[in-house]
Structures are given as structure tokens and as C-alpha cells.
Amino acid sequence: GAVVSQHPSWVICKSGTSVKIECRSLDFQATTMFWYRQFPKQSLMLMATSNEGSKATYEQGVEKDKFLINHASLTLSTLTVTSAHPEDSSFYICSARNGVNTEAFFGQGTRLTVV
């Protein structure tokens, strides 16, 4: 299958700072990328959907000013957690697909710990 790479795999940051997570599709063009958040022992919650060159569509309850998503190219989307707080600590996973009704490939996830 196609490869989606997330970077970094894990990050620890101080409260109040911002953290950027990258999601890259390595061998295909990702017209759509998704960002999920996973709490310990819980399911994945879709945060937002981004199409290349367009503003991201956020799910209800997700603060768009807190979680900035940029999908500037067909192979890269970034999620920036601004002014991070300990409650933002979580596992963030991206997925990418090329086209509609095609398989979405998942990155390996980024574990964010805010101290």
C-alpha cells in the first residue's frame, strides 16, 4: 500500500508553546488529508478534513484557532497545536487519500505530551 509519514513520532513541549506536526504522502498525491485525535484506550476522533489548496473543514467542537491545519501541497499537510496545554496531550494521527471512495492510508501517529 501507499505510505504516509508523520513527523515527529513523539514530541514533548512546554505549556504555552506551539507544536507543528507534519503529514506527508510519500508515493502518491493526497487530494484529501484527515487529522484524528486518539485519547488513551479510546477511539479515533476526526478533528478536521483538508483538501489541497482549501481551508480545512473542522468537526464540531474542534477549535480551528487552536488546531491550525495547512494543506499547501498534494503531499504535505501540517497540524499546528497553538498555545499547547496539558489537556492537548494525545496521540494525533493523519490519513491521506487520492480521490473519493478510495482507501485512506494512515500515518504512524504522533504522541504529543505537553508538560
Shortest Å, Cβ 65 to another protein: 22
Q: Compare residues 7 and 82 and give the one whose CB is closer to another protein.
A: 7
Write out the DSSP string of 10-44. EEEE-TT--EEEEEEESSS--SEEEEEEE-TTS-E
Closest approach of another protein to the CB of residue 72, in Å: 19
Residue (60 or 115) nearer to another protein, CB: 60
Residues shown for the chain: 115
Dist CA 6 CA 25 (whole Å): 9
What residues make contact with another protein under the rule CB under 8 A? 1, 4, 6, 32, 34, 41-46, 49, 93, 95, 97, 100-101, 103-109, 111
Closer residue to another protein (CB): 18 or 42: 42
User: CA 36 to CA 91: how far, in whole Å?
Assistant: 8
